[in-house]
Structure 1
Amino acid sequence: MTVKLISEFSHFWRKTSQVSLEMGKIFVEGVGEVQEYVDVCDYAVGLSRMIGGPILPSERPGHALIEQWNPVGLVGIITAFNFPVAVYGWNSAVAMICGNACLWKGAPTTSLISVAVTKIIAKVLEDNRVPGAVCSLVCGGADVGTAMARDERMDLLSFTGSTKVGKQVALMVQERFGRSLLELGGNNAIIVFEDADLNLVIPSALFAAVGTAGQRCTTARRLFLHESIHDEVVAKLSKAYAQVRIGDPWDSDTLYGPLHTKEAVKMFLDAVEQAKQQGGSVVYGGKVISRPGNYVEPTIVTGLPHNAPIVHTETFAPILYVLKFKEEEEVFAWNNEVKQGLSSSIFTKDLGRIFRWLGPKGSDCGIVNVNIPTSGAEIGGAFGGEKHTGGGRESGSDSWKLYMRRSTCTINYSKNLPLAQGIKFQ
């Protein structure tokens, strides 16, 4: 069935660039997103032969102690506009191999993509004598999402989106003692030390800040530079920004396309103005691009303090705040001082510093990188973050456990009835 799904996706996406049309990301990123769905299907099939609970030693003679994992039942999946294919793939592929059915609500602004993906999945399921309704779709706005969050038939609700909406979803699900999986916002930082390889830093910072026009939850929004290399990196990065090819997302040569909506453009302009008012200087970009569509210039802002309100605000747009630091201890603290805790990166050759970064006094994020950007996570690792990012994990590692319910089972195969803890009940 996985081979058939891969074939159907490949056939469909060769003919159309629906992701670029409806979401606005460049064509190669759209292809990469579909490939991610294909890859997670492959991953899930392998995982299906490995999931299970341990057999534990029992303290009582003639007893066996095991963990049994069963499907939760129905998984509700609410996804955001920025990854209208891949995030559903993470959830649905793992949910299905755990034995669940899925009900998906994609973003209302990418509903054609949701319909196209659902038709592909339904065909593959039905070709393999599985009801297409195992992966069902509903379209609509916040009212539909609210109904899903409040419906007790949703055994698990997975929500990917903003922290603001995620908090409302969590409260509604918790009110009925339901289970939720939250993957929310990120205010991600890259830290560059004086010993960093700048040949890695410049393309990494560029990709992390400008990729998907800054509309990834893992987008780099803060760039901390050691004071000894600050000016050099800003100059090199500004030069790299000037070489970014801006244009039609369907054009294979384009590296940077439009924002998703006009509201996003307004949010961008408001953030740039706030940055100026709070002491920042725009060294690159900062304006709307005069062409049809929601195009804005990728933007670099310097001179702000690390705790400026706008720096602590996640703006879903291509604005990078560049900040100076002196010491390792202070910059690690600055990385952690924002409310979100999704992704983080350092660039250094110092082995001791690398392990301090990974340790309890280092990054408090769910994704902690070294010498790579904040974005571009692989499917094999659990994806998600801490604090206001929600604490959820999608795909990878042992995240399959979130899509199942666990039972601790004790089996007495003897003719006696010894009690735990050696209790004697006469």
Structure 2
Amino acid sequence: MDHFQLFIDGTWCEGGATMETLNPATGTAWATFACAVPDDVDRAVKAAARALDDPTWRDMTQTARGKLIAKLADLVERDAVKLGRLETTDSGKLLAETSTQTAYVADYYRYFAGLADKIEGAVLPIDKPDMHVFTTREPIGVVAAIVPWNAQMFLTATKLGPALAAGCAIVIKASEIAPAPMLAFAKLIEEAGFPPGVVSIITGDAEGCAIPLTRHPRVDRIAFTGGPETARNVVRNSAENFAVTSLELGGKSPILVFEDADLGSAANGLIAGNFGASGQSCVAGSRGLVHRSIFEYLAALIQDRSAGIVVGDPLQAATHVGPLCTRNQVDKITDTLSKAQKQGAKIRFGGAAVDSPGNYMTPTLVECAGPGTETLKVEMFGPVMSLLPFDTEEDAIALANASDFGLGSGIFTQDVARAHRVSKRLKAGICWVNTYRAISPIAPFGGFNQSGYGREAGMESILDYTRTKTTWINTSSEPMANPFVMR
């Protein structure tokens, strides 16, 4: 089997343990990888701290850092198909998506490369005429980035790009579920020529890797993507080092379809938001709220268009829905569907695991009995769409906001005034109108409530990897006045 090593302080190494990784399409082990233990984590963090003090990285101009990040972008684009194939083999996501998304990730690195020398301070119009006072932004320090197995190249870029552009050093913890593409990506870090310790990439379980990383005393910033329960532990761990923390935690995103919508577009939006990426997306639009007057027509249209969905080998171009990454996801979905049916929900199509090797689940449409239906509350991370009717705009907004999450949201309407009015009232960090699941390095990404806090991507995100320093310069030729009185 293939074997992947850890990348720490510019060198390839084994960890304190070894684990296997499974191919979700077959359910069999296909590779092994080194697994970090606390000593490995300590080594990576201390290497990052040394890199921050090393003149090679510390004194590198921001423009030079930008060029280095741009070189990394070129390498990512060059190896997009190779990395995509690794990700597909390890996670089950479609090759068409993993290779395309990885190629697009190169633009994220180019975006942050361009921002590297745009980090500016300011001269303050201070109220003391003998003082020249200005601010500068300095690297926040050592960053611990924790990324999940889904969309890992994208979610890494939104953390690594701004961290490097700001001049930080970073330790990336890949998920122990499907870590192969991230450990292979480390080869591009090495090839690009980043100084040793600036970027380390490790993986491992919670006890051996994630916990010692997030509570390490030398970590200054934590950027986490994952689930709410794990996030609570991350926040508790950060109490040990007072690290600045950002959280992106997924959700149960609503898609609102009004009676004046283009129903063909709305059907495609709902299919994209639920069956795209096999439903394994943090912004999956898994709560479809549809005006009662068009509910039956739209449900039938979705059913008709879904009939041609091909479930199968994620490496094949004809496949639309591949396997889920883990068997636990399949079990969770079938259990949640069973509970929903007991509540009166109707399964219009799908609803069962595929009887074949691998973690396959049929695309499923649930007609919900009411807002308390289990499928409207549980983030299943699979190809399950739940539809619920509404009668008025106020009802739709109330149903959309009746969630502990608040990451994505969607609106389908041809009424521009309504689009503005409703989007303003939705409690979500992202709102797509007449489209769904679109991303860009220019657009901030993040949520409200239990979907976390902080934003990734966009111009302002780079500032989250800096600290502001205020410098006072006394321009007077006179000696200091009374030392016992504050100026």
Q: Using structure 1 for the length normalisation, give the TM-score.
A: 0.92
Q: What residue in structure 2 maps to residue 6 of structure 1?
A: 73
CA distance in 2, matches of 1:21, 1:408: 50
Distance 1:310 1:246, change over 3 A: closer
Q: Say whether 1:218 aligns with 2:283.
A: yes
Q: Is the 8 A contact 1:123 1:132 kept in 2?
A: no
Residue in structure 1 matching 2:200, options 136, 160, 165: 136
Cα deviations by residue, 1:113-155 (Å, 9 ceiling, x for unpaired)? 1210011111112xxxx32431101221111101111111111
Residue in structure 1 matching 2:164, options 96, 102, 108: 96
Residue in structure 1 matching 2:94, options 22, 26, 32: 26
Cα deviations by residue, 1:10-62 (Å, 9 ceiling, x for unpaired)? 44344461111001110111012212321111001111122223333223324
Partner SS state of residue 104, structure 1: strand
Distance 1:377 1:14, change over 3 A: closer
CA distance in 2, matches of 1:417, 1:383: 51
CA distance in 1, matches of 2:475, 2:167: 29
CA distance in 2, matches of 1:334, 1:13: 40
Q: Is the 8 A contact 1:121 1:132 kept in 2?
A: no
**One-letter amino acid of the counterpart of residue 364, structure 1:** K
Which stretch has the larger CA shift, 188-197 or 106-115? Answer: 106-115
Q: Is the 8 A contact 2:214 2:237 kept in 1?
A: yes
CA distance in 1, matches of 2:385, 2:479: 66
Cα deviations by residue, 1:167-188 (Å, 9 ceiling, x for unpaired)? 1111211343221111112110
Partner SS state of residue 178, structure 2: helix
Distance 1:5 1:324, change over 3 A: same
**One-letter amino acid of the counterpart of residue 173, structure 1:** S
Q: Is the 8 A contact 2:80 2:103 kept in 1?
A: no
**One-letter amino acid of the counterpart of residue 104, structure 2:** E
CA distance in 2, matches of 1:418, 1:344: 59
CA distance in 2, matches of 1:418, 1:369: 58
Partner SS state of residue 421, structure 2: helix
Q: What residue in structure 1 maps to residue 391 of structure 2?
A: 326
**Post-superposition shift, 1:332?**
0.9
Residue in structure 2 matching 1:242, options 297, 301, 307: 307
CA distance in 1, matches of 2:440, 2:75: 23
CA distance in 1, matches of 2:231, 2:318: 36
- Please list, as runs of the form range in 1=range in 2, the aligned pairs for 1:56-67 lying within 5 A after superposition: 56-67=124-135
Partner SS state of residue 431, structure 2: strand
Aligned length: 415
Q: Is the 8 A contact 2:375 2:386 kept in 1?
A: no
Q: What residue in structure 2 maps to residue 388 of structure 1?
A: 450
Partner SS state of residue 191, structure 1: strand
Residue in structure 1 matching 2:356, options 272, 283, 291: 291
CA distance in 2, matches of 1:48, 1:33: 23
Q: Say whether 1:278 aligns with 2:343.
A: yes
Q: What is the Cα-based RMSD across aligned positions, in Å?
A: 2.0
Unaligned segments of structure 1, at least 5 residues: none
Partner SS state of residue 377, structure 2: coil
CA distance in 2, matches of 1:351, 1:316: 32
Q: Is the 8 A contact 2:149 2:179 kept in 1?
A: no
Which stretch has the larger CA shift, 152-161 or 301-310? Answer: 301-310
Distance 1:229 1:131, change over 3 A: same
**Post-superposition shift, 1:210?**
0.5
Q: What residue in structure 2 maps to residue 398 of structure 1?
A: 460
Q: What residue in structure 2 maps to residue 36 of structure 1?
A: 104
Q: Say whether 1:46 aligns with 2:97.
A: no
Q: What residue in structure 2 maps to residue 105 of structure 1?
A: 173
Q: Is the 8 A contact 2:80 2:100 kept in 1?
A: no
Partner SS state of residue 288, structure 1: coil
**Post-superposition shift, 1:90?**
1.4
Q: Is the 8 A contact 1:259 1:294 kept in 2?
A: yes
**One-letter amino acid of the counterpart of residue 367, structure 1:** I
Percent identity of equivalent pairs: 30
Partner SS state of residue 239, structure 2: helix
CA distance in 2, matches of 1:357, 1:54: 38
- Please list, as runs of the form range in 1=range in 2, the aligned pairs for 1:311-390 lying within 5 A after superposition: 311-359=376-424, 362-373=425-436, 375-390=437-452
Distance 1:115 1:268, change over 3 A: same
**Post-superposition shift, 1:197?**
1.1
**Post-superposition shift, 1:418?**
11
Q: What residue in structure 1 maps to residue 367 of structure 2?
A: 302
CA distance in 2, matches of 1:115, 1:407: 35
CA distance in 2, matches of 1:416, 1:214: 69
Distance 1:226 1:204, change over 3 A: same
Q: Using structure 2 for the length normalisation, give the TM-score.
A: 0.81
Distance 1:66 1:14, change over 3 A: same
- Please list, as runs of the form range in 1=range in 2, the aligned pairs for 1:51-90 lying within 5 A after superposition: 51-90=119-158
Q: Is the 8 A contact 1:381 1:395 kept in 2?
A: yes
